[in-house]
């Protein structure tokens, strides 16, 4: 292998193995920051040695061994320092740690190690932004630069979030054990929220020049699949995986040749990924078989499944989708859910039915700067032939979005409303 190929291999191995490596170290050193430093030291050693020696047959084990050696060196140094303090009559510092315990701590319970790391990274004591940054850093294997680029924020901002997150976890004395029962269920809600937030930013970027960022979707999907194997009896985990698989199946069809957005009803369904659809439907089936009341992710997955099962847009069961949104609204009341229900009602029972609900949402404070409200209202007004009003709504929506591609699409729709002879065929402005 050339030096360049070796470096590529090292970074690929790191992306795959880093979470397991850090997870094992966290259980032993009980410090997220120190565990990551030890793992990074192992990566540096690989970058120094592998170009000369070649990539080992088991690169993950090599990295683990390098991290162990570094941890042992640090512990021995701490013990020497501790003995010096004792000799001087100072208070004992550090912890009595034995090398055999390190092997046991790192080599066993890999599943619990990963689950522990996920729960720590997404701990509710951290802000949402900090949880996202730390999760992508520790579990996604992304660099600070990659995270900053993905979310279009300055690199120093992301670096500060990660540093503060580690400090907050230490100062809050967050337990490094996997909670059980009701406590685990409560903590999982935070984890699922973070994973889906990462996925959504990839599926429909809130800002920037790209309509989608598939790499973020892939990272979120990988985390969701890992979590589903770690807690296989939690229905909502499978519900989230189902939702992400089904939505990810449409990624290729969501973007045109020049990167322009392609809305749901205009997508070429032959480009939908059938493997992801099958995986999504299987995950949804697993969630439903576990029984109990369907949670918000399982309900949203059921909505996505309605689209996935329709061979053409015309075959979509919009009445069922509207009913599912109503069920979702009862479970987690939200004006955004109501807006989505309005779209479904318009498709099932006509634009007037959808517009009636949208009009009730126009005074909702939380939607005042939400670009999809005027976008949906503009779409429904256009379908009713009220083109001047529709144009104003599309222009307002364009002024509110921070995504360049979406702004261009909305301005095109506004312009089409001003050209009676060339008005577009009816379509929904909201793509799930």
**Euclidean distance between CA atoms 35 and 78, whole angstroms:** 16
Position 431 scores a pLDDT of 59
Position 61 scores a pLDDT of 86
Q: Kindly report the pTM of this predicted structure.
A: 0.81
For 201-245, what is each residue's pLDDT tens digit?
889 888 788 888 898 899 899 999 999 998 999 999 999 999 999
Position 68 scores a pLDDT of 85
Position 153 scores a pLDDT of 85
Q: At what angle do helices 181-203 and 144-151 cross, to 10 degrees?
A: 70
CB atoms within 10 A of CB 101: 12
**Euclidean distance between CA atoms 1 and 183, whole angstroms:** 49
The strand pairing partners of 402, in sequence order, are 207
**Euclidean distance between CA atoms 107 and 118, whole angstroms:** 18
The strand pairing partners of 207, in sequence order, are 402
Position 409 scores a pLDDT of 95
Low-confidence ranges of the chain (pLDDT < 70): 1, 78-111, 419-432
Position 240 scores a pLDDT of 98
Question: Do the Cβ atoms of 312 and 270 come closer than 8 Å?
Answer: no
């Amino acid at each position: 292998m050339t030096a360049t190929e070796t470096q590529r291999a090292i970074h690929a191995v790191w992306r795959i193995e880093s979470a397991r490596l850090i997870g094992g170290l966290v259980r032993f050193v009980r410090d997220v920051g120190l565990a990551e430093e030890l793992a990074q030291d192992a990566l540096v050693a690989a970058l120094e040695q592998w170009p000369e020696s070649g990539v080992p047959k088991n690169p993950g084990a090599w990295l683990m061994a390098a991290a162990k050696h570094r941890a042992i060196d640090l512990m021995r140094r701490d013990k020497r320092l501790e003995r010096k303090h004792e000799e001087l009559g100072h208070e004992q510092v550090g912890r009595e740690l034995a090398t055999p315990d390190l092997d046991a701590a790192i080599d066993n319970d890999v599943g619990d190690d990963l689950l522990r790391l996920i729960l720590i990274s997404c701990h509710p004591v951290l802000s949402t932004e900090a949880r996202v940054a730390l999760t992508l850093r520790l579990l996604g294997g992304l660099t600070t630069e990659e995270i900053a680029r993905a979310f279009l924020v300055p690199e120093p901002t992301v670096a500060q979030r990660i540093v503060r997150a580690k400090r907050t976890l230490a100062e809050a004395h967050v337990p490094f054990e996997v909670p059980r029962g009701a406590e685990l269920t409560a903590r999982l809600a935070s984890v699922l929220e973070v994973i889906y937030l990462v996925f959504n930013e990839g599926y429909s970027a809130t800002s920037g020049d790209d309509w989608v960022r598939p790499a973020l979707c892939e990272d979120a999907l990988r985390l969701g699949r890992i979590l589903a194997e770690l807690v296989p009896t939690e229905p909502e985990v499978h519900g989230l995986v189902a939702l992400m698989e089904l939505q990810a199946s449409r990624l290729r069809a969501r973007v045109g040749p020049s990167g322009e957005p392609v809305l749901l009803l205009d997508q070429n369904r032959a480009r939908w990924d059938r493997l992801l659809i099958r995986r999504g439907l299987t995950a949804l089936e697993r969630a439903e078989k576990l029984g109990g009341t369907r949670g918000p992710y399982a309900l949203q997955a059921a909505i996505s499944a309605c689209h996935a099962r329709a061979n053409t847009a015309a075959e979509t069961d919009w009445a069922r989708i509207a009913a599912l949104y109503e069920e979702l609204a009862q479970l987690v009341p939200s004006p955004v859910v109501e807006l989505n229900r309005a779209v479904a009602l318009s498709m099932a029972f006509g634009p007037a039915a959808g517009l009636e609900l949208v009009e009730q949402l126009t005074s909702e404070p939380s939607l005042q700067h939400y670009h999809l409200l005027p976008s949906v209202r503009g779409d429904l007004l256009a379908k009713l032939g009220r083109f001047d009003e529709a144009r104003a709504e599309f222009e307002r929506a364009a002024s509110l979005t921070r995504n360049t591609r979406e702004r261009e699409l909305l301005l095109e729709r506004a312009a089409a409303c001003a050209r009676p002879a060339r008005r577009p065929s009816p379509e929904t402005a909201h793509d799930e």
